[in-house]
Amino acid sequence: MSRELQTASARIPRVEELLSQMTLLEKAGQMSQHSWGFGSDDEAREYIAAGKLGSVLNAPSLEERNRLQQLALESRLGVPLVFGRDVIHGYKTIFPIPLALASSFDVGLAERTARAAAQEAAEVGIDWTFAPMVDVTRDPRWGRVAESFGEDPHLTAAMGVASVHGFQGRSPDEPGRIAACAKHFAGYGATESGKEYNTTWIPETQLRDVHLPSFQACVQAGVMTLMTGFNDLNGVPASGNAFLLRRILKGEWGFLGAVVSDWASMLEMIQHGSCADDTDVARVAASAGVDLEMASRTYLKHLPRLVEAGLVPLELVDDAVRRVLRLKHELGLFEHPFSKPPVTSVALSAEHLALAREAAQRSMVLLKNDGALPLAKSSRSVAVLGPLADAPLEQLGCWSYDGTLEAAVTPLSALRARLGQGVRVEHVAGLPDCRSSDESGIQAAVDAALAADVTLLFVGEPANLSGECRSRAFLDLPGSQGELCARLAATGKPLVLVVMAGRPLTIGEVCAQANAVLYAWHPGTMAGPALADVLLGDVAPSGKLPISFPRTVGQVPVYYAHKNTGRPPKQDRKQIPTGTPLDPTDFDASYLDVEVTPEFPFGFGLSYAKFEYDQLEVTPNQARAGDAIRIRVQLRNASDVPGDEVVQLYVHDRVGSLTRPVRELKGFQRVSLAPGERKCVEFTLTTDALGFCGADMVGRAEPGEFQIFVGGDSRAPLGGALVLV
């Protein structure tokens, strides 16, 4: 047996005992998951009764789960089922989408929202969620960017780990905890051209520096399961990728948990052209290290024969079954296989709604403000316009099918409630929905704006334009929303734009027309109250962008941690007046028709407060491997309102054996400051954090000079220096 397998096989007496009694078919059953509603559910019941299924995805209710569990317990060995479901950004109470949560740069918040989601799911018998998604992505065309934590490996890892802690707690068999699943291993976020399910080509050094650290961090945090991706990585589908699963995950990282395939992704290896038929699929996936097959049945059909024929070693099958049984053991399913309806449900409790409101407040990003926000207390009439002002379903975002629609409070209803009798609130949608090009309602919106002191315009994307299989090649506001915005801007009345979307949109033009722009993402159940809090100034916006916003699709991918190139741009946009002679000394890495910088950079976000940074100190400024480096900065709130600032620490390795990104995020802290308050913010950096994967695939920090930057976004000018000797 390989070293990888030996390290991975944690021996638990109950598991060993069961394993010793199992037939090959029962083992294949433990390695199979039925997806409720796909294929025959009656057949699945028969399989469960015969001890030939280990898990069920999306069983419809607590009662059904208990009935299925009863069948499993009555089977020959009585191994309980484990029930999975996608509980991604909330169950009944819907929290902001993950990309929004990442904008909070608040790991405590990510942990608390995951915990609340786990509590609501656990009380209806869900044991296991398929979250967090820790795919790093730099492509807003990809619909799943909504479900990601954005473009940065450090931020993604931090949010991923916090989510794992929130779902699993110290132990997932505690009441109100469920098993987490870091997905999609690996590289799915690099999908070529932003097209869903597309090929990924990632050099190993980049894979190890950018795409794997978030998964490794989740493994170190004790995540119980991982899911493979739909993508093929460098020619090998992730669900049959022994390099990823056996060598890195189970070998180098010593992962003891279970690997589940994505939905039918094993079977899709036939379409990828890497397997001939479903026998081949079972052989390839089992050999590569997929422990549990989601939705398809190739293991059940073929694995026993493959083992008998010597084509798949029995040790590999035993290792996979051990992992699945260990998951059930750690979830406490052998002791508590059934779920009881709660005496008092926590779903949509006042506490969870308050948390949803807080999470939404903290994740909104103020992109522009000429003073139009917060709304003046003197406003006597407000025009609440746009197709998303009163669209409860859309504000919930992409993974909200269990969310309670009736609980969603829209901006219109919250503003009406908050502004009370003294302020006239006029609502006109202007467009039938945000994808519509029917402009017949725009004039009514214009009339409402003309009659009001200020216009709040709610535009963006509906929930179903982001998420899985929702790639877009254009990133502008869909339908006639751009026209609606232009017509309202032309009224000359103050215009505040609130954008709700599941991805960065190319909104430079509409931003230029508005007085203020608040990017709210899809904020969830409590979108309305949270928006009212921010727009009315009870809470200052504090979110920062976890992903760069392109000016135009043609810039994609545009991200802050890019390389310098041999000819960094001399100016943001190349100017070539007609007739300009060829001048090779002026050739640089720029565009002729658009600036080279993004519309809004990573880490960017305004507040009603104003923050000033100074006195950056790096001690020691000559460090040796293993030293702790202290980086301190003075932060001051130079305004008369309280606010939170996300202080960000970036590093640039000036000379490397491989070229290094111009900046890399290495730390962040959310700091609350009263008006006029000054605080010293301190980071401790280990020299390990300065390392990267070298050409020999070994990670290490190389001696030399490093630049250190601290500030409020990825362009932070305040710098210091460090030498690693």
Q: Among residues 262 and 330, whose Cβ is nearest to ligand BGC?
A: 262
User: Which residue number, 291 or 468, has a Cβ lying nearer to ligand BGC?
Assistant: 468
Q: How far is the CB of 147 from ligand BGC (least distance, A)?
A: 8
Instruction: Give me the residue whose beta carbon is nearest to ligand BGC.
Output: 130
Cα separation of 647 and 670, whole Å?
Answer: 6
Nearest approach in angstroms of CB 146 to ligand BGC is: 12
Of the pair 468, 713, the CB lying nearest ligand BGC is at 468
Q: Report in angstroms how near the CB of residue 130 gets to ligand BGC at its nearest.
A: 3
CB 560 within 8 A of CB 597: no
Tell which one of 135, 468, 533, 644 touches ligand BGC (CB under 6 A): 468
Q: How far is the CB of 290 from ligand BGC (least distance, A)?
A: 14
Select 262 or 278, whichever has its Cβ closest to ligand BGC: 262
For residues 281 and 269, the answer to whether their CB atoms sit within 8 Å is yes
The residue length of the chain stands at 725
List phi, psi (to 5°) of 81: -85, 155
Kindly tell me the burial class for residue 387, based on how many C-beta atoms sit within 10 Å of its own C-beta (0-12, 13-18, 19 or more).
buried
The answer to whether 473 and 490 have CB atoms below 8 angstroms apart is: no
CB count, 10 Å around CB of 674? 13
Q: How far is the CB of 199 from ligand BGC (least distance, A)?
A: 16
Residue from the set 105, 128, 130, 604 that interacts with ligand BGC by CB under 6 A = 130
Instruction: Output the smallest distance, CB 317 to ligand BGC, in A.
Output: 24
Q: State the nearest-atom distance from the C-beta of 133 to ligand BGC, in Å.
A: 7
Q: Which residue lies nearer to ligand BGC by CB, 187 or 392?
A: 187
CB 436 within 8 A of CB 482: no
Q: Which is nearer to ligand BGC, 4 or 468 (CB)?
A: 468
Strand ordering across the sheet containing 181-185:
181-185, 225-228, 258-260
Least gap, CB of 215 to ligand BGC (angstroms): 14
Q: Are 557 and 142 in contact, with CB atoms under 8 Å apart?
A: no
Catalytic position from the list 139, 173, 262, 402: 262
Rounded-to-integer distance, Cα 68 and Cα 83, Å:
10
Could you give phi then psi for residue 369, rounded to 5 degrees?
-160, 115
268 counts as binding ligand BGC under rule CB under 6 A: no
The pair phi, psi for residue 438, each rounded to 5°, is -80, 105
User: Contact at 8 Å (CB) between 582 and 564?
Assistant: no
- Give the single-character DSSP code of 712: S
In Å, what is the CA distance from 244 to each residue of 55, 153, 233, 285, 693? Answer: 24, 18, 9, 12, 16
Give SS3 for 324.
helix
For 58-176, where are the E strands, in sequence order?
82-85, 128-129
Residue 193 per-residue DSSP state: G
- The amino acid that residue 202 corresponds to is I
Q: Which is nearer to ligand BGC, 127 or 318 (CB)?
A: 127
Between 56 and 505, whose beta carbon lies closer to ligand BGC?
Answer: 56
Closest CA to 458 of 409, 501, 502: 501
Instruction: Assess contact for 574 and 588: CB atoms under 8 A.
Output: yes
Cβ 700 to ligand BGC, closest distance in Å?
A: 34
Q: CA–CA separation, 302 vs 315, rounded Å?
A: 16
> How many residues lie near ligand BGC (CB under 6 A)?
6
**CA–CA gap between residue 495 and residue 676 (Å, rounded):** 30
52, 65, 112, 183: residue in contact with ligand BGC (rule CB under 6 A): 183
Residue number, 262 or 645, with CB nearest to ligand BGC: 262
**Which one-letter DSSP state was computed for residue 581?**
P
Give the residue with the Cβ less far from ligand BGC, 183 or 246.
183
CB nearer to ligand BGC: give 263 or 299: 263
- Is residue 178 a contact partner of residue 127, using CB atoms and an 8 Å limit? yes
Residues 71-110 touching ligand BGC, rule: CB under 6 A, are 86
Residues 273-332 that bind ligand BGC (CB under 6 A): none
Number of H helices, E strands in the chain: 22, 26
Note if 586 is an active site residue. no
- Mapping DSSP onto H, E and C, the string for 542-568 reads CCCCCCCECCCHHHCCCCCCCECCCCC
Write out the E strands in 611-658. Answer: 611-619, 622-623, 628-637, 643-653
Tell me, residue by residue from 135 to 174, as one string, x for binding to ligand BGC by CB under 6 A and - for no binding. Answer: ----------------------------------------
C-beta of 151: minimal distance to ligand BGC in Å?
19
Site string for ligand BGC, 419-458 (x = CB under 6 A): ----------------------------------------
| Per-position b or e across 488-508, b if 16+ CB within 10 A of its CB | bbebebbbbbbbbbbbbbbbb
Could you say which of 4, 127, 262, 278 contacts ligand BGC (CB under 6 A)?
A: 262
Q: Minimum distance between the CB of residue 389 and ligand BGC, rounded to whole angstroms? A: 31
Q: Which of 95, 128, 263, 692 binds ligand BGC (CB under 6 A)?
A: 263
- Binding residues for ligand BGC, rule: CB under 6 A, are 86, 130, 183, 262-263, 468
Supply the residues annotated as catalytic: 262
